Structure 1
Amino acid sequence: MNLNDCDVETLHHDDFIDQEDCAGLAVHTYTPGPVHVHFFLRYVEPSKIMGRIHLSPYSALPTGQQNMHEVLRIHVYEDRCPADGLQNCPDLLFRPRHRENFWASLTHLNYYTAVDTAFHAAAMISRIVEDLARKTIYANALRILMGWNQTFLFLALAATAASSLVGSGTSLQLNGIDYFVSPFSQGKVTNGTVAINTRQNQLGFVPATVIAGDLYTESTLQSLFLNWSAVDDVWQPAFLETIFVFNFAKLTNKNHNYHDGVSSSVFPLQVTRKIPSGPYFLNIHTGEVHPAYRLYDDFAGAFTQSLLQRHDGRFQTLSAQVPAAASITIGVPSRLYFTKTEAKPLAGVRIGVKDIFSLAGVKKGCGNRAWYHLYPVAKSTGTAMQNLIDKGAIIVGVQKTSQFANGETPTADWVDYHSPFNPRGDGYQDPATSSAGAGSSIASYEWLDLAVGSDTGGSIRGPATVQGIFGNRPSHGLVSLDNVMPLSPRLDTPGFLARDPSLWNAANAALYRDKYTFFGHEAPRYPKKLYLLDFPAGNTSHAPILQNFVTKLAKFLDTSPSNINLSKEWERTRSTSAGDQSLAQLLNTTYAAIISKDQAKLVQEPFYRDYAAIHDGRLPFVNPVPLARWTWGDSQPSSLLSDAVRNKTLFMDWFNGNILPPSSDPLTCSSGLLLHVDGSADFISRNRYINPPVPPFGFSNSQISVFAETPDSVFPLGQVPVFSSITNHTEYLPVTIDVVAAKGCDGLIARLAEDLVAAGILTVPRDWARLRAILAPALYVDYTKIGKEKWDAMSADDFMAMVSNDDFLGDPCVKTQHLIGATYWERVSESKVIGHHQLRAAHQVYTSPDLKTVKLRGHSHATNEHYYVKSSGVWKFAGLKPEVRWNEYKFEEVFKGSYTQSEKHS
């Protein structure tokens, strides 16, 4: 309200009570209801009004306290409010009364009064607004509202009496590994009558292991712990000092060494509620165990917030930080706490979520600092994310998006926040947008299983392409996008970035529910039409990898591929409604018009209005790309949007009817599959200067699925060497391909990825760049004792090519485990060290990459010399010399009889 627009004087306290014509508006007549209370908490925000008062020269506060209005905030958003007896108070405001306490009651006395006043104010202000909307009692409303400034002052000051101390968790380090101790107890395991070894006691916590089931014996416990070490990155043997077991009577030895160097004390599990097996931190004072979270540095800069998922469905910040430079810390719970079931197929799956999806208790930023600070925490979680949570997913953090999900290029376009890093190649490549944090995290972190992104014009497929991982744009409209910031609801879709196609398929089924064509255990009958769209020339570096994939895929599908020219097909079969326009002409401004017009209305206008309302009419900062798009959209007539929607519909109907119509066979679903390539193996460095942004004009193959509403998924195929001017070395960039199917056939594509991995045609992405980063420029490699050659100075690039080759360590059908025995180190010089290791190398060769049927085994007992040199002040791996002493089974055939080799020579 602008007081300059009215001539009504401010109501003073003296005439507030006695004015007869306002008697009906007295405070006591405004009995608050739930709607009034929620309106007051959400919109009135007395603390902000008090901030203005305290900063004014007329403030009654002492000079040194006039800028301290943050301290005076009224904490009625959380569950700390003690107003148990207030009628209509929302449940989330209650504080349970566990016991009577005179001093607590005395402390709360003023707080009760303040909150009671607040609720009456809520009713009063709500009704004033209602009356204003009806254009009645305008003058009286303004006068009464101004008179309430004094009440707000009392309200804010009274709130300071209700301060509380709330635990947010604890950070500890165990054997050099950083952990976060959850503030929430999982249950009580002991009543304090057992003698706990407190040698490792820190802040009252000791590491402990809980074994909840009874499917074990004393002899199998050691095997159980070995398995835990293999499947879980949180548990470690140091948690074995104190063990609580469900069936205590099974164990005859209550003190045992289950791991070298760790003496274990075993106690009965005195359960107060069901506690999952796994690592915990035991509070020695209360007997309760708290879940352990392993802490990881977000060195790729992929996340904006680290989250702790609560049992009540809300989230809170995971308050921890490991040593790092300008990066946050993410905590992940033990995988041992969770068991996948039919009802919970994603149990324990760790997921990062793009910063446009609402999560209850979390502030959303959408890549914009002003937006983050303007709006409150989300009250509820949107349908899409709730679908994943209901199926057992664990959301560990919020991930960076380019601003308002528009396509941005680092580094110049990323003003409010710094772009995440792409780990591929030289590490300074564009991660692609807008789901940049999602792609960067999945490519960088093995401890993260999935990332949720959104794809409007390529925002999932772009990051998947440049980082060599799986990613999908689904059919449009598979799940509600309520509580999600829109770019354009006509085009927006949620999807995943993933490394494992099996998990990707299961996550799709959880997210899209009954609209997903999930084949489960049913084998699809894959379509026989295989279209190739605009494949690169044969002289490009990635062409052989693409052609090899197409050959194998055609053989797998029992068909022959055929090239398709979309422009010519359009000219031959287009609708008469399109006139004589080419595809390029028809769709040139379609995407730009839809996203600019839609986002201006749905995001820009309310954002600008809300920001100006509390910042004296100012505008918030917006990055160059969304600002350029909004500005262009504002300059265009409204008819441009209706024309764009019409053109999109024309293309959708044509493509879905002529190119990829659905199949009448539900096990085939799509009449064909279309393959296209979207910028594989190209360096797009983030350290270059770029031109100012312009609207996204034009039409490309990546927009086929955008306009046709069909599923389009990225499959990683391999990598090619490319010279980097940044590192002055040859680095490796991913090669990928896009697979498009008919609308609604999403499950067909994900199942195809699974089947191709099982057939050895696709492999789960491996980060060979990590190995490359630790190699010396030249390596001494002596493989003469394992049937190969010796190289005195093999280049790092040649070594990478050799070990990643399908005929050697890159063979997806070969699994190996090296068990190290005696070890000693030889210091040759200040810059050279040799490690001498005794080892048993176990190898198992399978008939196919699904690793179900063993073809042969081959184990060697050997010694191995590892060479290390200091290069430019950094220690690097500089070679190896294995010497086999004796073999078991068919070791000499391990790298000669694999599935991959057999297929190559057939």
Structure 2
Amino acid sequence: MRLASFLHFATIVEATTVFQLNSTSYYSPDLVAATLAFENERTEAVPITYLSFAEPTLTAELLESTITSFLSHDDVYTEPYLSTLVLGGLGTLSDGAHAVVDVDLSSGPYLLHPSNAVTRVYRLYWDHNFAFVESVTEGPNGTFVPVTGLALTDAYGALSIAVPSRLYYPLPTEDKPLSGKRLGVKDIYDLKGVRTSGGNRAYRDLVNPAPESAAALQKLIDLGAVVIGKTKTTQFALGERPTADYVDQLAPFNPRGDGYQHPQGSSAGSGAGLASYNWMDIATASDTGGSVRLPAMANGLFGMRVTNASLPLDGILPISAIFDTPGVLARSARLLQAVHRRWYPAKVYTSYPKRIVLPDLFWPTVNGTSMHIFDSFISQLATFLDANLTTFNANASFNTYTNTSEGPASYIGSTYSDITNVDQYRDLGLPFREQYIAKFGRAPYWNPQTRARWNRAATLPTSSYTTAIERTKTFQSWFRETLTPTCESTLVLYPMGAGTEDYRDIYTTAPGGIFAAGLPGNQMSVLAALPDYTIPIGERTYFSRVTERNETLPITIGMVAAAGCDHMLMDLVAELADAGIISGDVKTGSSMY
């Protein structure tokens, strides 16, 4: 391939913030990245390629191989940026360069303005599955700026998300393992310079742009993550169904199967976005009652609830400090491992557990057509760990421990909702209502789920809350002492998702204010405050009433370990992928594989 084949001029359709090159839309904010010191007679902005080389002499072969690499590895960089080459950091040129400059600028595509100012360019992608509420770009001093431009294509009412060139960022290192990784931020996390809505239009109208990013989010940014926008959350992170409960916004579309399945959990936007778009790498989520693991289940992703109190909650809209945990979703087990390994400290472990427990409350699965996939994974896991595999009589063990006869599900009852309803209404709902009325002279709107839970909280007896706290402590003590005393002791497995259809267009009865009553499998870790990893292990085929053909949905398993053993779980799942027991990466689109 000859270098000359790259060099042709591109015409900018719209020389403002949004322009097109060969039918691809780009956005260039007005934040100046550098100013070039050479004579520029152009009267319009033009796309350029800036190349910085450390070598004393640049050869045509090196230049050609560099550009070929750019085109192969970056989705933002395209041939039209070769209309003008600007070379920097060179001692001698062999031939053919348009200009030589020396500025502090990363190699990559830029927009050169008549003033010689250079601005970064962002490719605009269509958010066709409605996963985002806002696109942002990096601003000065750690701030973020909402994107005002839309892709010059038929977007059917969807946003355009601006993503920067991967060439702007150095390769990941031990200190910055997330360098250049594009991050979607769930819209309950404060992001400096941007309003937090919590999925509620009235709340967004009330608040000012955040003065700082949430502490847990800032840690990810410090590790090199590049924020590209805010993803949709259910209102105030309370579980909602797409047809029945979403009012202030449209529910994201889960791309798996026929594209009309429930995206699940309050982190639905993060889950649907990652399962839909190759141009994003990771996304923040949160797990109070399951909203890291539920979207991981429905959208076929890797996600783990962390041990409670592993990460700060500052700058995140609360449900309950007792149960709230920040989290991240990813399509790659290794990438998620890199996130967790540097995001927070965890216990040092000496070996993987040698005991695998299957609580009889959850096995076998209700959907028996997936059981052979669960059985295969569990058998391979036991062999890999050289571990004993046992079925656990949860009712008998719990009743003996507590000297009761009702079993853990009945004992727990509405415990989770009794705590979360009260805590969120006290810490968020009531202050929000009072401040909104004071500012606007009328009450704010709340979605049906929000209204049901906060109305219940307003009348719940104090004794119910006190009892719920006591029962949570009892459950936690029983579970930790009996099943997970140390990192090396036990893994508790349950079927997180059996690949069962859950169509988004189903009408349900009005919400009653109680979530996850009793003891669903995914609530064990919530009540026991333990790490819990949702792992995609296969797919189930079903006949879709939407597409009228066979489709596939993710099958996922939940893996619970002892408190503080988060990194052990991360390492184990990564090694299971290396051993071929699971696929360590899932694809975007209707199928994971």
State the TM-score, normalizing by the size of structure 1.
0.61
Picking from 45, 65, 88, the partner of 1:246 is 88
Q: Classify 1:670/1:230 alpha carbon distance in 2 versus 1 (closer, same or farther; 3 Å).
A: farther
Aligned to 2:396, the other structure's residue is in SS state: helix
How do 1:754-833 and structure 2 match up within 5 A?
Answer: 754-767=574-587, 769=589
Does residue 630 in structure 1 map to residue 436 in structure 2? no
How do 1:42-57 and structure 2 match up within 5 A?
Answer: none
Shift of 1:559: 2.4
Q: Deviations over 1:298-350 (max 9, x none)?
A: 11111111111223111111111113011111111111111123332211111
Q: Classify 1:478/1:234 alpha carbon distance in 2 versus 1 (closer, same or farther; 3 Å).
A: same
Q: Deviations over 1:153-180 (max 9, x none)?
A: xxxxxxxxxxxxxxx9711111121111
Picking from 244, 262, 265, the partner of 1:430 is 262
> Quick one: which amino acid aligns to residue 579 of structure 2?
A
Picking from 510, 528, 531, the partner of 2:354 is 528
How do 1:414-453 and structure 2 match up within 5 A?
Answer: 414-453=246-285
Shift of 1:539: 8.0
Picking from 313, 325, 330, the partner of 2:161 is 330
> Quick one: which amino acid aligns to residue 538 of structure 2?
G
Cα distance in 2 for residues equivalent to 1:726 and 1:541: 21
Picking from 311, 335, 348, the partner of 2:140 is 311
1:585 corresponds to which residue? 410
2:63 corresponds to which residue? 221
Aligned to 1:357, the other structure's residue is in SS state: coil
Cα distance in 2 for residues equivalent to 1:232 and 1:755: 29
Aligned to 1:225, the other structure's residue is in SS state: helix
Shift of 1:476: 0.4
Does residue 612 in structure 1 map to residue 476 in structure 2? no
Aligned to 1:677, the other structure's residue is in SS state: strand
Cα distance in 2 for residues equivalent to 1:759 and 1:679: 23
> Residue 275 of structure 2 contacts residue 589 of structure 2 at CA under 8 Å; is this kept in 1?
no
1:497 corresponds to which residue? 329
> Quick one: which amino acid aligns to residue 245 of structure 1?
L
Q: Classify 1:400/1:711 alpha carbon distance in 2 versus 1 (closer, same or farther; 3 Å).
A: same
How do 1:688-703 and structure 2 match up within 5 A?
Answer: 688-694=506-512, 695-696=514-515, 697-703=517-523
Aligned to 2:358, the other structure's residue is in SS state: strand
**Which of these two proteins has the greater Rg computed from alpha carbons?**
1
How do 1:20-99 and structure 2 match up within 5 A?
Answer: none
Q: Classify 1:275/1:552 alpha carbon distance in 2 versus 1 (closer, same or farther; 3 Å).
A: same
Cα distance in 2 for residues equivalent to 1:545 and 1:226: 43
Aligned to 1:428, the other structure's residue is in SS state: coil
Q: Classify 1:269/1:754 alpha carbon distance in 2 versus 1 (closer, same or farther; 3 Å).
A: farther
Q: Deviations over 1:168-211 (max 9, x none)?
A: 97111111211111311211233226x7xx6xxxx822111122
Q: Classify 1:403/1:182 alpha carbon distance in 2 versus 1 (closer, same or farther; 3 Å).
A: same
> Quick one: which amino acid aligns to residue 177 of structure 1?
T
Does residue 399 in structure 1 map to residue 225 in structure 2? no
2:498 corresponds to which residue? 680
Q: Classify 1:768/1:503 alpha carbon distance in 2 versus 1 (closer, same or farther; 3 Å).
A: closer
1:171 corresponds to which residue? 18
> Residue 574 of structure 2 contacts residue 584 of structure 2 at CA under 8 Å; is this kept in 1?
no
Shift of 1:722: 0.4
2:369 corresponds to which residue? 541
Shift of 1:538: 10
Cα distance in 2 for residues equivalent to 1:399 and 1:173: 26
Aligned to 1:678, the other structure's residue is in SS state: strand
Q: Classify 1:614/1:538 alpha carbon distance in 2 versus 1 (closer, same or farther; 3 Å).
A: closer
Shift of 1:235: 0.9
> Residue 438 of structure 1 contacts residue 497 of structure 1 at CA under 8 Å; is this kept in 2?
yes
> Residue 674 of structure 1 contacts residue 740 of structure 1 at CA under 8 Å; is this kept in 2?
yes
1:299 corresponds to which residue? 128
> Residue 367 of structure 2 contacts residue 500 of structure 2 at CA under 8 Å; is this kept in 1?
no
Cα distance in 2 for residues equivalent to 1:364 and 1:501: 29
Cα distance in 2 for residues equivalent to 1:673 and 1:360: 39
Cα distance in 1 for residues equivalent to 2:556 and 2:44: 51
> Residue 188 of structure 1 contacts residue 270 of structure 1 at CA under 8 Å; is this kept in 2?
no
1:182 corresponds to which residue? 29
Q: Deviations over 1:53-93 (max 9, x none)?
A: xxxxxxxxxxxxxxxxxxxxxxxxxxxxxxxxxxxxxxxxx
Cα distance in 1 for residues equivalent to 2:174 and 2:539: 36
> Quick one: which amino acid aligns to residue 374 of structure 1?
L
> Residue 277 of structure 2 contacts residue 588 of structure 2 at CA under 8 Å; is this kept in 1?
no
Does residue 276 in structure 1 map to residue 106 in structure 2? yes
2:245 corresponds to which residue? 413
> Quick one: which amino acid aligns to residue 630 of structure 1?
W
Q: Classify 1:287/1:630 alpha carbon distance in 2 versus 1 (closer, same or farther; 3 Å).
A: same
Cα distance in 1 for residues equivalent to 2:16 and 2:397: 62
Coordinate RMSD, CA, aligned: 2.1
Aligned to 2:227, the other structure's residue is in SS state: strand
> Residue 190 of structure 1 contacts residue 288 of structure 1 at CA under 8 Å; is this kept in 2?
no
Gaps (5+ residues) in structure 1?
1-167, 255-264, 663-668, 773-803, 805-809, 811-906
Gaps (5+ residues) in structure 2?
1-14
How do 1:201-216 and structure 2 match up within 5 A?
Answer: 204-215=44-55
Q: Deviations over 1:730-789 (max 9, x none)?
A: 11111111111111011111111211121111214444755x8xxxxxxxxxxxxxxxxx
Cα distance in 1 for residues equivalent to 2:272 and 2:204: 22
Aligned to 1:434, the other structure's residue is in SS state: coil
Aligned to 2:381, the other structure's residue is in SS state: helix
Aligned to 1:320, the other structure's residue is in SS state: coil
Aligned to 2:304, the other structure's residue is in SS state: strand
Cα distance in 2 for residues equivalent to 1:518 and 1:307: 38
> Quick one: which amino acid aligns to residue 46 of structure 2?
V
Shift of 1:536: 2.9
2:39 corresponds to which residue? 192
Q: Which has the higher contact order (CA 8 A, sep 6+)?
A: 2
Percent of pairs with identical residues: 36
Cα distance in 2 for residues equivalent to 1:169 and 1:392: 29
1:71 corresponds to which residue? none
1:558 corresponds to which residue? 386
> Quick one: which amino acid aligns to residue 435 of structure 2?
D
1:728 corresponds to which residue? 548
> Quick one: which amino acid aligns to residue 169 of structure 2?
F
> Quick one: which amino acid aligns to residue 438 of structure 2?
A
Q: Classify 1:538/1:352 alpha carbon distance in 2 versus 1 (closer, same or farther; 3 Å).
A: closer
State the TM-score, normalizing by the size of structure 2.
0.92
Shift of 1:227: 2.0
Picking from 350, 358, 378, the partner of 2:182 is 350
1:59 corresponds to which residue? none
Cα distance in 1 for residues equivalent to 2:253 and 2:425: 29
Aligned to 1:398, the other structure's residue is in SS state: strand
Cα distance in 2 for residues equivalent to 1:345 and 1:465: 26
> Quick one: which amino acid aligns to residue 556 of structure 1?
F
> Residue 297 of structure 2 contacts residue 496 of structure 2 at CA under 8 Å; is this kept in 1?
yes
Aligned length: 570
Aligned to 2:244, the other structure's residue is in SS state: coil
Aligned to 1:681, the other structure's residue is in SS state: coil
Shift of 1:537: 5.3
> Residue 267 of structure 2 contacts residue 295 of structure 2 at CA under 8 Å; is this kept in 1?
yes
Shift of 1:433: 1.4
> Quick one: which amino acid aligns to residue 540 of structure 1?
G
Picking from 265, 288, 299, the partner of 1:467 is 299
1:12 corresponds to which residue? none
Aligned to 1:187, the other structure's residue is in SS state: strand
Q: Deviations over 1:772-813 (max 9, x none)?
A: 8xxxxxxxxxxxxxxxxxxxxxxxxxxxxxxx9xxxxx7xxx
Shift of 1:698: 2.0
Cα distance in 1 for residues equivalent to 2:93 and 2:467: 76
Cα distance in 2 for residues equivalent to 1:507 and 1:539: 33
Cα distance in 2 for residues equivalent to 1:538 and 1:658: 26
> Residue 473 of structure 1 contacts residue 713 of structure 1 at CA under 8 Å; is this kept in 2?
yes
